[in-house]
Amino acid sequence: MSKPLPTSAAFEIDGRKIGPGHPPYVIAEMSGNHNGDLDRALRLIDAAHEAGADAIKLQTYRPDTITIDHDGPGFRIEGGLWAGKTLYELYEWAHTPWAWHATLFAHARSRGIACFSSPFDTTAIELLRSLNAPAYKIASFELIDLPLIRFAAASGKPLILSTGLGDFAEIAEAAATVRGEGVPFALLHCTSGYPTPAAEADLATIPHLASSFGIPIGLSDHTLGTAVATAAVALGACIIEKHMTLARADGGPDAAFSLEPAEMARLVEDVRTAWDAIGTAGYDVKPSEGAGRDFRRSLYAVVDIAAGTSFDASNVRSIRPGGGLAPKYLPLVMTRRAARDIRRGEPLGWEMLGV
């Protein structure tokens, strides 16, 4: 029997609330952009913090825990950024050495930025558990690995699952697996193209996932630039995950579709501005509108009008400012006479209308 669900869809990572009603949670994905250099990895953490990201995310695997060293059918990549490499060669190049993890976690904590990771097997989860990782991220390609998801969820920590490549039934199976452990979780809509054309982002999936699962939904974004992620927030995305590098020109496994530090800072600003702009549905006058209502159109005398004179288009018009009767009353006014002398520039009021 499934354990009871949390009472609120929103949850926390390191004290930061995530979900509807809270600013979007921005995750800077380091991935393999450290280029095998621990100092570069530390500088990436610093850059993510300075850009305003809420978290830095690693990937925890060894080449031998994610594949085997083999060149048979299916093991060599054809096309794309990594064409020609075997899977083993790619993961050997891109992996984050396990010996670095304690240093990276400690450095992130010292800078006040959350640090967690995507584990790719149970030994990775055990390592991350020993480092008190505050959450786990399940990568798109592991969405169908239900035993891995169950093992991660058994830690009791929140999970974030990317949906790339998954159909709705597979997403639902993964979600049900997490629900069975009773831990809070979120789904990240994702198109697993590297990079992803904006036209394939299908952001309309975000509100559909939210209504289907009743949990926070975000976006793991592999498009170029920041526009798609910003648009996702307007559609309800509570989490934005984006790859980050110190400089694309330095190369690296994911550099081509990663943001540089200034771009990450712009992303953080843009998505939070988008969230602020959503506001609430309503038609009240906003403080920034100030005295705007005073300058809407209304009915005014545009010449001096003697008492008893009929109102017509020559002496009454709908003009700015807004001190007179609303323009919708103009047809009625045209059937009346002036009840008193009215000077040019006076706003019309009901007491001025005679029979």
Whole-number pLDDT of residue 263: 98
Contact 230, 238 (CB under 8 A): no
What is the per-residue DSSP string for 263-329? HHHHHHHHHHHHHHHH--S--PPPGGGTTGGGGS-EEEESS-B-TTPBP-TTTEEEESSS-S--GGG
pTM of the complete model? 0.88
Q: What is the pLDDT of residue 8?
A: 47
d(CA 45, CA 139): 20
Give residue 1's pLDDT band: very low, low, confident or very high (50, 70, 90).
very low
Amino acid at 115: C
- What does the pLDDT read at residue 227? 97
Which spans in the chain are helix H?
38-51, 63-66, 87-94, 101-111, 122-130, 146-153, 168-179, 205-213, 227-234, 261-278, 330-333
- Binned at pLDDT 50, 70 and 90, residue 7 comes out as very low
Distance CA 30, CA 46 (A): 12
Fold of 17-278: TIM Barrel (3.20.20)
Residues of each domain in the chain carrying CATH 3.20.20.70: 17-278
Parts of the chain belonging to CATH 3.90.1210.10: 289-354
| Beta strand 239-243 pairing with 217-221 | parallel
Fold of 289-354: Type Iii Antifreeze Protein Isoform Hplc 12 (3.90.1210)
Nearest CA-CA partner of 104 in 83, 128, 80: 128
Digit-coded pLDDT (tens) for 329-355: 999 999 999 999 999 999 999 999 999
CA 320: distance to chain centroid? 42
**Nearest-CA neighbor of 51 among 209, 303, 270?**
270
